[in-house]
């Protein structure tokens, strides 16, 4: 119990080890975070620790009320809130490997449903057990802190100390507000929640675009006349978080994709499977727009908002266009970006009016149903071009209970069930094309926006993962027809020869333009010169640079950069404990990326990486920051 005011006590020094700021400090030391800080970050951390002490000095002063019951109630509420904060903060740290920060709470504000799903699935019985233990320790520490103040301080001094501490807390919050985007989590758990939430509230009140990333409405360049009478159709099937090695046709031992495997082996036309295809980013709202424009994520934001998309080229060629997606389009301003006149038929989660089933999306089954209905109303000779974007393989990998062939023991089981469910939707799409007479004349591309990690490198999910499991994606190109009139033999041979090379999703749009004999056309040169990809019908050099980057002008989340050059994989980390850390892996000797050989990087490779990064303003700034360290 808290002691009545005015009672003197000789408080043992050991009692102060139980006060909340020192408890948080002990947890930080046990988890080893401060050891990874540079001098600037250590000073920043010590400042935040002073803020924690200031906070609890101020709370102790507030609890010196004449009434015993309100004081006890206030103490209990403060202790409970603080205990919940510590359990959530350090539970998050132990679960995902990083302390929550501004972007964590920004995500919570923007995606409350998904945040709740992650919290629900990540909560363990140990967290429940830890809560009363932490509460008890905080209660004891708060009581001793209050007793110390009552014994050693006069009321007037209390007021001076409280005012000074409150001012210090405000200063610390302002420092955190101005620096958190440049210096990742390097302050105590007390201020993790308060600073991050306050900054989110402040930015939303002060900035009408707060909470949004860089995507906005597009103003594309005008295309020259592309008079054409297409006899074929184009369909891009874009899956979500689907890593290549989760498919049987890429070597996975579980039968997750029986239909797709049989399609690859027995397709009536010709199939090209790219063994080393890589995503442009590990965030969907960057990966998808760059895929559909061919614009590098390192390019200025203006380029992504002025380059024509896949649909605009196809509309100009005379095809009926569509976009079916089971994902929500009301986050990161995606709807404004994709709402363009060139899409004749647009169907998403919001238009469907169906409640979210998986992440913020709806069951892929409904979207495929709607596509099949739309296809049934289309004349069999009407050429079309469109994208079907699926969502089932996004966390938390929901599938009906009756469709879980691999059980539900862990996240990988759930993921493999979702891959199998996606395979079934692919079967329905292909069968519908065949049933309505469109399959023979439809070029089909199947890929994913990015991969998914399952703790291969102590990372779960995809947002922070630039390792191979997070960036390698399936890429299948299916030609149901093949004759000299549609595709000269030599060009197709080059397309097939590029299959073992390192390729990117940035190459999809240039390849489609090349198939239409548009790639390299003089009238389009001012547009295609802005693309970072290249046609897969060209000769692909083995040492080309493949970039995957969440370091872009379109988002404030500068998470890092990945460059693949032949068998070398370079990673620059720009957040968390690895802030500023470079990694290099030699896939020829270490395909699992277990040994970082950055200290033995060849001089010519270092030069190529430096020259590439200096060629783009956004990566040049990161390189300069790295050099300054």
Predicted confidence (pLDDT) per residue in 603-626, tens digit: 999 999 999 999 988 888 777 766
Give 453-469 as a DSSP string. EESTTS-EESTT--SHH
Query: Long-range CB contacts (< 8 A, 24+ apart) of 492-495?
Result: 492/270, 492/537, 494/536, 494/537, 494/538, 494/539, 495/272, 495/536, 495/537
Q: Whole-angstrom Cα distance, residue 42 to residue 578?
A: 15
Count other C-beta atoms under 10 Å from residue 597's C-beta. 14
Instruction: Give the span between the Cα atoms of 21 and 27, in whole angstroms.
Output: 10
Distance, in Å, from the CA atom of 189 to the CA atom of 31, rounded to the nearest integer, reads 12
169 token code pair: 């807390």
Beta-bridged to residue 272, according to DSSP, are 477
> Can you tell me the distance from the alpha carbon of 418 to that of 163, in angstroms, rounded to the nearest whole number?
56
In sequence order, which residues have a C-beta less than 8 Å from that of residue 186 and are 6 or more positions away? 33, 34, 37, 41, 42, 44, 45, 48
Phi, psi of 275 (to 5 degrees): -80, -20
Round to whole Å and give the CA distance between 50 and 105.
23
pTM of the complete model: 0.77
Q: Which residue has the tokens 């992504």?
A: 304
DSSP secondary-structure letter at 272?
Answer: E
Residue appearing with tokens 């501004």: 102
> For the chain, what is the mean pLDDT?
80
Res 12 pLDDT > 50: no
Name the more confident of 247 and 223: 247
Q: Which whole number is the average pLDDT over 317-331?
A: 89
Query: Which SS3 state, helix, strand or coil, does residue 611 take?
Result: helix
| Closest among 16, 43, 25, 36 to 190, alpha carbons compared | 25
Query: Do residues 448 and 278 touch, judged by C-beta distance below 8 A?
Result: no
Assign 349 a pLDDT band (cuts: 50, 70, 90).
confident
Q: Report CA Rg, the chain.
A: 28
3-state secondary structure labels for all residues of 307-359: CCCHHHHHHHCCCEEEEEECCCCCCCCHHHHHCCCCCCEEECHHHHCCCCCEC
Where residue 76 falls among pLDDT bands split at 50, 70, 90? confident
Paired strand residues for 461? 453
Cis peptide, bond prior to residue 269, ω within 30 of zero:
no
For strand 560-565 and strand 472-479, is the pairing parallel, antiparallel, or unpaired?
unpaired
d(CA 435, CA 27): 62
Between vectors from CA 166 to CA 77 and to CA 14, what angle results, nearest 5°? 60
Kindly report the three-state secondary structure assignment for every residue of 129-173.
Answer: HHHHHHHHHHHHHHHHHHHHHHHHCCHHHHHHHHHHHHHHHHHHH
Buried b (16+ CB within 10 A) or exposed e, 34-57: beebeeebeebbebbbbbbbbbbb
Q: Pick the range with the lowest mean pLDDT from 75-79, 341-345, 620-624.
A: 75-79
Least confident of 235-244, 272-281, 283-292, 298-307: 298-307
Residue 178: its pLDDT value, please? 46
**3-state SS, residue 244:** helix
Q: CB 126: neighbour CB atoms within 10 A? A: 11
The pair of three-digit structure tokens given for residue 265, joined into one six-digit string: 């082996």
Measure the CA–CA gap between 442 and 339, rounded to whole angstroms.
25
Chain centroid to Cα 33, Å, comes to 23
Which residues make beta-bridge pairs with 445? Answer: 236, 477
Contacts 24+ apart (CB under 8 A), 155-162: 155/64, 158/61, 158/64, 159/61, 161/57, 161/61, 162/57, 162/58, 162/61, 162/62
Residue 133 clears pLDDT 50, i.e. is over it? yes
Give the pLDDT confidence of 227-266 residue by residue, as tens digits. 777 888 999 999 999 999 999 999 999 999 999 999 988 8
């Amino acid at each position: 119990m808290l002691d009545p005011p005015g009672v003197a006590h000789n408080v043992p020094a050991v009692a102060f080890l139980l006060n909340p700021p020192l408890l948080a400090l002990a947890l930080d030391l046990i988890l080893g975070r401060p050891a990874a800080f540079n001098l600037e970050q250590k000073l920043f951390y010590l400042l935040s620790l002073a803020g924690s002490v200031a906070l609890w000095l101020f709370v102790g002063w507030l609890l010196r009320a004449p009434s015993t019951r309100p004081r006890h109630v206030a103490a209990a509420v403060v202790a409970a809130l603080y205990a919940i904060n510590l359990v959530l903060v350090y539970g998050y740290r132990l679960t995902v490997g990083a302390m929550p920060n501004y972007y964590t709470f920004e995500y919570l504000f923007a995606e409350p449903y998904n945040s709740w799903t992650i919290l629900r699935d990540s909560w363990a019985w140990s967290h429940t057990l830890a809560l009363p233990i932490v509460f008890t320790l905080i209660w004891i520490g708060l009581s001793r802190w209050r007793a110390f103040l009552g014994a050693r301080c006069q009321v007037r001094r209390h007021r001076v100390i409280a005012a000074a501490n409150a001012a210090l807390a405000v200063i610390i919050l302002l420092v955190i507000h101005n620096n958190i985007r440049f210096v990742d989590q390097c302050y105590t758990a007390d201020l993790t929640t308060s600073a991050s939430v306050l900054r989110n509230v402040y930015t939303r009140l002060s900035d009408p675009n707060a909470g949004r990333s860089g995507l906005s409405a597009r103003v594309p360049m005008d295309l020259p006349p592309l008079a054409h009478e297409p006899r074929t159709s184009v369909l891009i099937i874009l899956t979500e978080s689907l890593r290549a090695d989760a498919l049987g046709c890429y070597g996975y031992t579980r039968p997750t994709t029986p239909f797709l495997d049989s399609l690859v082996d027995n397709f009536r036309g010709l199939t090209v499977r790219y063994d080393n295809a890589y995503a442009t980013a590990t965030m969907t709202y960057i990966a998808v727009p760059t895929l559909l424009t061919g614009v590098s994520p390192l390019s200025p934001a203006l380029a992504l908002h002025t380059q024509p998309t896949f649909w605009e080229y196809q509309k100009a060629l005379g095809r009926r266009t569509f976009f079916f997606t089971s994902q929500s389009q009301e986050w990161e301003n995606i709807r404004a970006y994709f709402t363009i006149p060139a899409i004749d038929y647009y169907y998403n989660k919001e238009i469907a009016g169906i409640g979210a089933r998986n992440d913020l999306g709806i069951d892929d089954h409904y979207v495929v149903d709607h596509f099949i209905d739309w296809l049934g109303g289309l004349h069999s000779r009407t050429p079309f071009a469109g994208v079907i974007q699926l969502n089932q393989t996004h966390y938390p990998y929901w599938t009906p209970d009756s469709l879980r062939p691999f059980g539900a023991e862990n996240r990988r089981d759930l993921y493999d069930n979702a891959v199998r469910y996606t395979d079934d939707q692919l079967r329905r799409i292909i069968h519908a094309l065949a049933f309505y007479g469109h399959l023979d004349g439809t070029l089909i591309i199947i890929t994913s926006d990015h991969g998914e990690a399952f703790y291969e490198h102590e990372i779960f999910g995809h947002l922070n993962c630039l390792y191979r499991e997070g960036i390698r994606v399936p890429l299948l190109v299916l030609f149901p027809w093949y004759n000299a009139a549609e595709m000269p033999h030599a060009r197709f041979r080059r397309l097939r020869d590029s299959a073992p090379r390192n390729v990117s999703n940035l190459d999809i749009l240039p390849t489609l333009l090349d198939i239409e004999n548009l790639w390299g056309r003089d009238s389009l040169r001012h547009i295609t010169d802005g693309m970072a990809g290249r046609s897969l019908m060209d000769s692909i050099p083995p040492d080309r640079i493949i970039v995957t980057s969440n370091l872009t002008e379109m988002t404030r989340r500068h998470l890092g950069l990945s460059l693949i050059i032949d068998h070398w994989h370079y990673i620059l980390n720009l957040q968390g404990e690895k802030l500023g850390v470079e990694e290099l892996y030699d896939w020829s000797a270490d395909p699992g990326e277990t040994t970082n050989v950055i200290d033995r990087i060849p001089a010519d490779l270092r030069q190529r990486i430096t020259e590439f990064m200096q060629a783009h303003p956004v990566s040049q700034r990161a390189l300069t920051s790295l050099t300054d360290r």
